[in-house]
Amino acid sequence: MKIAILPGDGIGSEIVAEAVRVLEVLDLRFETESALVGGAAYEAHGHPLPDSTLKLAQSADAVLFGAVGDWKFDALERSLRPEQAILGLRKHLQLFANFRPAICHPQLTHASSLKPELVAGLDILIVRELTGDIYFGQPRGRRLSPDGAFEGQQEAFDTMRYSRPEIERIAHVAFQAARKRSKRVTSVDKANVLETFQFWRDVMIEVHAQYPDVELDHMYVDNAAMQLVKAPKKFDVVVTGNMFGDILSDEAAMLTGSIGMLPSASLNAANRGLYEPSHGSAPDIAGKNIANPLATILSLAMMLRFSLNQPEAAARIEAAVTQVLESGLRTADIWSEGTQRVGTREMGSAVVAAVKAA
């Protein structure tokens, strides 16, 4: 099996390096190959997703991805910005289903910004549709002044669009995931305002008829955002569109204490996927050995479970992370009084040691 390693920008290289160290002590037979992506690829090749990187990702059984983005690239035209790399990978690899678990580890209950009783035992799975919606809908663009100058821009527009097959396939993913959990799905939309999401709701109801053992309820996105803060444990599986999922999954991440703890998986119909932490590239802390590598290490565990059919190895990694947290080690984002603050490299070493000892 082949794994493509794409560290990216900012803290990407630091956190991915720790996940690779964990992979190397598992005594599994994998071929790995690394490539540039994002801003690093633009500086070297003039494009955030060079053909060589895309071909590597397409040939791999799974992709371990760090993060892309840096403020120094903000002046580039949109098609050349680092973030286009991840959008391109999602499109070309047909990664339509994004899994973002929000789990509050017992050791981190007091790290959440909410009261401990609200988040203790929290375990939410957000299923985000990843290749449709306003991020990919056409037409889109800007109307400029007659001479083509952006300073005289008249308007800008994006198109929110979903097709029936796109909604049906993400609905099936959500209902099937719920069957392995508490058999409850909350579909989040804005059907009271947007035709796109009235259609989303109608299709969700149709597909639900094939899953009579799963409970389905519907919630408007603004109410869902409020309920995630008010009573987050009322949710189990949440399924929603691309833009709403982007926002709600980051909100849910902070309920757990730090976005630095949350992994993600983006899968296609063949369960080949891209695995990355839910956080960004954080260029302001890059190279300082303070980033939290645990989200990336847990993304590696998801890779082993979903794409590489190695559930025992995935469980070893997850148990090692729990053991390290139980020992009191913390990176800066999850540190509190009475725990020991460590850096990126030290946290990775602790997980490596725990995996070896398992």
- Tokens standing for 340? 């020991």
Q: What is the rounded distance in angstroms from the CA atom of residue 91 to the CA atom of residue 240?
A: 18
Q: What is the phi-psi region of residue 148: left when phi exceeds 0, alpha when psi lies from -120 to 50, beta otherwise?
A: left
Q: Is the dihedral of CA 217, 302, 271, 181 positive or negative?
A: negative
Looking at 123, 158, 236, 250, which residue is catalytic? 250
- Tokens standing for 58? 């397409």
- Is-catalytic flag, 158? no
Give the DSSP letter of residue 259.
Answer: G
Q: Closest by alpha carbon to 187, among 235, 115, 251?
A: 235
3-state secondary structure of 31: strand
Looking at 190, 211, 275, 333, which residue is catalytic? 190
- Is-catalytic flag, 51? no
- Is-catalytic flag, 246? yes
Q: Closest by alpha carbon to 278, among 49, 110, 172, 125?
A: 125
Looking at 123, 158, 236, 246, which residue is catalytic? 246
How many CB atoms within 10 Å of residue 284?
10
- Is-catalytic flag, 27? no
- Tokens standing for 130? 């990843």
- Tokens standing for 271? 């369960």
Torsion, Cα of 163, 171, 99, 283 (10° steps): 30
Q: What is the rounded distance in angstroms from the CA atom of residue 301 to the CA atom of residue 286?
A: 24
3-state SS of 125-161 is EEEEECCCHHHCCCCCEEECCCCCCHHHCCEEECCCC
Looking at 135, 158, 183, 233, which residue is catalytic? 135
Looking at 202, 217, 222, 284, which residue is catalytic? 222
Tokens 């020992």 appear where? 327
H/E run at residue 269: none
Q: Closest by alpha carbon to 297, among 263, 255, 332, 335?
A: 263
Question: Helix axis angle, 294-306 relative to 311-326, nearest 10°?
Answer: 160
Q: What is the rounded distance in angstroms from the CA atom of residue 150 to the CA atom of residue 129?
A: 32
- Is-catalytic flag, 211? no
- Tokens standing for 60? 């791999």
Which residues belong to the active site?
A: 135, 190, 222, 246, 250
